[in-house]
Amino acid sequence: MLRSILAVLAAMAVAGCRGEAAKPAAPVASPEAARPAAPALRKLKVAIAIPSYVHAVAWIAKSKGFFEKRGIDAEVVTTGGSADAMKGLLSNDIGIALAGGDSAVKANLAGADLVVFGTVVNRHYHRLVVRQGIDGPEDLRGKSLGVPVLGGPQDFLTYVLCRKWGLEYGKDVAIKVLGKEIARLPAVQRGDVDGLTAAAPRSTVEKLGLKILADPRTWDEPAPYMMMVARRPFLKDNDALVADFVRAIADAEAFYMTNPDEALAVAFDKLGPGEGDPRENYAEGGPLMFAVPPAPDVAAMRVAVDYIATAPDLAEKARAFDLPGMIDGALVARLAAEGAFGQVAAARAELAARLKPPTGEAAAAGAPAPAAAAPGR
């Protein structure tokens, strides 16, 4: 009997062992499967007022993946100017605009609640190009200057130049609206106007037999050429998104400065040959114009308010306007304290050293020095 029981137990043990052996092994999770899913990208529509070699920083941020690196699915659109960019903000179609600060002021004077929270370019971007025979500011008295539209950045610069030189805008110097720049430079050649503000590189100006009378790009004078603008509620509700947007723009600026060939390929794809030699544009009006750190420039915005106050229908409102109330530098200050702009500051210093204009007899005599070649030219 005992032998029978032992035999049964032995058989059960053998069957149990066979059963365990037949069970499939539990699967081992791969590192990829164990890794949490990446957070979804946050959508953001960004407007640039016009296409240019400084506005190109937004295209570079998109094309080279800097927006995506910061968790942003960005759509970059070009509007018909800063006024149209403000309209996009007010309709909630656009989240952030890179546009002229003067247009933001005008929108707020009309009842909007826009905020300038950062700066990309806080200097004038254009130069004053004139015909031969005009050798100084006084020669402009009784002459005419062309602008693409009244109220835009080039008209703004024309006003600033007249004020600087003691000329009454619209009286001592006549102002003529000529349309887009491609149609305006020949207007100076034909004698339709005596000069105009233009972003054309020096070689283009000289080929047309014209000359640069003033180059405000090199002046230490503020101008709100390209500000970071958004609606106040958008900033309040999307602090992390806006901070990552500013970081992505800083990333793109540093890339633009240190990788000219790749960056210019992106810009040229959008701008084409009509803007002149891309490397000359890079050296004369490219990434060295970026403000580092990108804090909102109160002085530049004040110049814009003073300009707007010259319009009779806006003078009273402009003089009473609460400018500090539409400027918020807290976010950029916070990012600066975290060291967010160290890389772009270092890249800018290195690029400035490489593009330093040559010195010599021409510079000593006060003549315009030739444009320095961009890296790799």
Give me the pLDDT at residue 11, please.
44
Give me the pLDDT at residue 17, please.
44
Give me the pLDDT at residue 36, please.
59
In the chain, where are the structural domains located?
Answer: 42-123+222-364, 127-218
Share of the chain above pLDDT 70, in %: 83
Interatomic CA distance for residues 243 and 337, integer angstroms: 13
Question: In this model, does residue 286 exceed pLDDT 90?
Answer: yes
Which residue would you say has higher pLDDT here, 284 or 180?
A: 284
Give me the pLDDT at residue 292, please.
96
Give me the pLDDT at residue 171, please.
95
Three-state secondary-structure class, residue 118: strand
Handedness of CA 182, 183, 189, 195 (dihedral sign): negative
Question: In this model, does residue 287 exceed pLDDT 60?
Answer: yes
Across-strand partners of 43? 73
Interatomic CA distance for residues 321 and 116, integer angstroms: 15
CA angle (257 as vertex; 74, 345 as ends), nearest 5: 95
User: Hey, do 42-123+222-364 and 127-218 end up sharing a CATH topology, with the first three levels equal?
Assistant: yes
Give me the pLDDT at residue 85, please.
95
Give me the pLDDT at residue 183, please.
62
pLDDT tens, residue by residue, 154-199: 899 999 999 999 999 999 999 999 875 556 788 999 999 999 999 9
The answer to whether domain 127-218 has CATH 3.40.190.10 is yes
Residue with tokens 């539209």: 149
pLDDT tens, residue by residue, 304-317: 999 899 889 999 99
Interatomic CA distance for residues 146 and 208, integer angstroms: 16
Burial call 49-60: b when 16+ CB within 10 Å, e when fewer: bbebbbbbbbbb
Burial class (CB in 10 A: 0-12, 13-18, 19+), 282: buried
β-strand 144-147 against 195-198: which pairing, if any?
parallel
Question: Which segments of 118-180 does DSSP mark as H helices, in order?
Answer: 153-164
Question: In this model, does residue 299 exceed pLDDT 70?
Answer: yes
What is the DSSP secondary structure assignment for residue 326, as one 8-state letter? G
Which residue would you say has higher pLDDT here, 323 or 153?
A: 323
Question: In this model, does residue 230 exceed pLDDT 60?
Answer: yes
pLDDT tens, residue by residue, 41-91: 999 999 999 999 999 999 999 999 999 999 999 999 999 889 999 999 999
Question: In this model, does residue 116 exceed pLDDT 70?
Answer: yes
Across-strand partners of 351? none
pLDDT band for 243, please (50, 70, 90 cuts): very high
Question: In this model, does residue 27 exceed pLDDT 80?
Answer: no
CATH code for residues 42-123+222-364: 3.40.190.10
The answer to whether residues 352 and 358 touch, using CB atoms and an 8 Å cutoff, is no
